[in-house]
Structure 1
Amino acid sequence: MILVRNTPSPKRFYEAVRIGPGEGGLEILLDGKPVRTPASAVLALPASALAQGVAAEWDAQGDKIEPETMPLTKRACTAIDQVRQRESKIVEEIVSYAASDLLCYRADGPEGLAEAQCTHWDPVLAWAGAEFGADFKTGAGISHLAQREASLGKIRTAFDIYGFFELTPLHTMTTLTGSALLVLAHSHGRLNADEIWAAAHVDEDWQISRWGEDGEATARRTARRAELDADARFLNLLRN
């Protein structure tokens, strides 16, 4: 039994990494022993491509195990230990973002910013309406817009179809972008990771184009983008 723990860079204690069948899916075996999550569950994966990606992370470790270089493993453990037990709550958290979705709150100026928001956001709102019958109000400013319960129900139903492995990256992407609608569009293949990132950062990019960006903000942005890319990769491997 090999446990995944958030401990300071332990030494690598295994030589061979392989994938083997198990009761819960494809297991990651280190010298023949299955990797387990922090909650002691077997790290069993439902898709071959994802299992290969996780195994590659373990195989790529050097003399020490560096957890920060293992984003797929991290997400798989989160899915098994945390999301699996609370799928309904995770869906509700995503829907709560839809209730105050980024795409619905517009700037009334400057003109360039308002146009950029329309360019990136209006097609997604139109798609959500056509695909799910979910119509969302938009308005200028930050005053709360009460969305129709029927529309939120449509979004809830759209996310309810996903299991805990898919919900894990979808939830994180929603918190990173502030938009359940962008993430739903990504999940359905309407937008790629670059496109949802750009759409989620219209305001920030406009500010940067006017005033520039400081080093700390750049570092935070880079870290967030790495998280989003890891989520998108996890989802892609899960489905292939």
Structure 2
Amino acid sequence: MLPGRLARKTYPFLSQLQVTVTSCRSMAEARKRFYRNVGVAGTNDSYEINLDHRKLKTPLGKVLQIPHYGLALAVAHEWTAVQEKIHPSLMHLTGLSFTVTDNPLHSSKWDVVDKMLDYLETDTILYREGSDDFMELLEREWDPLLEWFNTKFNVNLTPCNGICGANIPVEIREAVRRYFLSYDIWAVHGFFYGVEAIKSVVLAIAAAERKISVEKAVYLSRIETEYQASRWGSVEWAHDLEKYDLQSRFSAAMIFIQFNTWNATVKQKSNE
């Protein structure tokens, strides 16, 4: 069992990777903000976050080194935004960076991708069951994305009815595997965080490819909840909190992917 400081509020994926964690009571409580200034230092492919004179370290005591300047700035912003207390569970980009750096489960990129592929069999948009009008809604909202996915990967992924898992042919798994493996380990962790959040490989890839927005992906992943709420009403604080929490986590995943796949070239202005 991992100690409390390595619980899933620090490492975002530990529960998804089937690791037993300690109870919430043993997790470290929110700490009071202990620093005044936040800065980013580094060059090329290694950037560090400075909290006053201290380098930000991971739960295992490693100095956090981030390969992309944009991501380093985003992580630094999470620490700058802290008002009085540090709540690690709300600092998604920091948590993702800690996970990649410490790699507490010693997972290779292949291991993480393999875990993601398991979500294909239970992908949210593959399950179709309900009343006629609800099924029509699913076809209208989900089918265009499924068609896009099949065209992109040149496969024939089809929806299923009932509680049985979808039949995912080997060629579909391998096509999606090649797609994920084309990214670096940092981006792959971002994908995994996003897939786990909305329980859909198809929606996560569509959002990463900017076929749909984050808000649309989250809506499509919880379309049954939205449908029921439209008919029977909603508990405002509960449904809204769930939706915004999901949007926050999925947004962080997409930002993490984009920062770890975006390359920029800076050209110095000539003095001539």
Q: State the TM-score bracket (shorter-chain normalisation).
A: 0.7 to 0.9
1:100 partner amino acid: T
Structure 1's 35 and 22: CA in aligned 2 closer, same or farther, altered over 3 A?
farther
Give the Cα separation in 2 of the matches to 1:32 and 1:185.
Answer: 41
2:203 partner amino acid: L
2:178 counterpart of 1:154: no
Give the Cα separation in 1 of the matches to 2:112 and 2:186.
Answer: 12
Q: State the shift of 1:162 in Å.
A: 2.0
2:252 partner amino acid: A
Give the Cα separation in 2 of the matches to 1:149 and 1:143.
Answer: 18
**TM-score, length basis structure 2:** 0.77
Q: State the shift of 1:236 in Å.
A: 3.5
Once superposed, what is the RMSD of the aligned Cα atoms?
2.6
Q: State the shift of 1:74 in Å.
A: 1.6
- For 1:168, which of 173, 177, 189 is the aligned residue? 189
* Unpaired segments ≥5 residues, structure 1: none
Is the Cα–Cα contact under 8 Å of residues 83 and 90 in structure 1 kept in the other structure? no
2:75 partner amino acid: V
Give the Cα separation in 1 of the matches to 2:260 and 2:240.
Answer: 30
Is the Cα–Cα contact under 8 Å of residues 83 and 167 in structure 1 kept in the other structure? no
Aligned position for 2:132: 111
Q: Could you list the per-position Cα deviations for residues 9-44 of structure 1 after superposition, in whole angstroms to 9, with x for gaps in the alignment? A: 333333332111169611112234321100122211
Is the Cα–Cα contact under 8 Å of residues 183 and 261 in structure 2 kept in the other structure? no
Give the Cα separation in 1 of the matches to 2:188 and 2:52.
Answer: 31
Q: Tell me how many residue pairs correspond in the alignment.
A: 237
Structure 1's 30 and 145: CA in aligned 2 closer, same or farther, altered over 3 A?
closer
Q: State the shift of 1:218 in Å.
A: 4.4
Q: Could you list the per-position Cα deviations for residues 121-159 of structure 1 after superposition, in whole angstroms to 9, with x for gaps in the alignment? A: 212221222111222122322223322111111111111
Give the Cα separation in 2 of the matches to 1:102 and 1:83.
Answer: 29
| 1:26 match: secondary structure | strand
Structure 1's 184 and 99: CA in aligned 2 closer, same or farther, altered over 3 A?
same
Aligned position for 1:226: 248
Is the Cα–Cα contact under 8 Å of residues 134 and 152 in structure 1 kept in the other structure? no
Structure 1, 117-126 or 139-148: larger mean CA deviation = 139-148
1:172 partner amino acid: Y
Structure 1, 116-125 or 15-24: larger mean CA deviation = 15-24
Which structure exhibits the higher relative contact order, with contacts defined as CA atoms closer than 8 Å and separated by 6 or more residues?
1
Structure 1's 179 and 60: CA in aligned 2 closer, same or farther, altered over 3 A?
closer
Q: Could you list the per-position Cα deviations for residues 171-227 of structure 1 after superposition, in whole angstroms to 9, with x for gaps in the alignment? A: 122122221111111122212201211211122211111222235454334323322
2:162 counterpart of 1:133: no
Q: State the shift of 1:83 in Å.
A: 7.5
* Unpaired segments ≥5 residues, structure 2: 11-26, 263-272
Give the Cα separation in 2 of the matches to 1:199 and 1:47.
Answer: 31
| 1:27 match: secondary structure | strand
Give the Cα separation in 1 of the matches to 2:81 and 2:127.
Answer: 44
Is the Cα–Cα contact under 8 Å of residues 104 and 138 in structure 1 kept in the other structure? yes
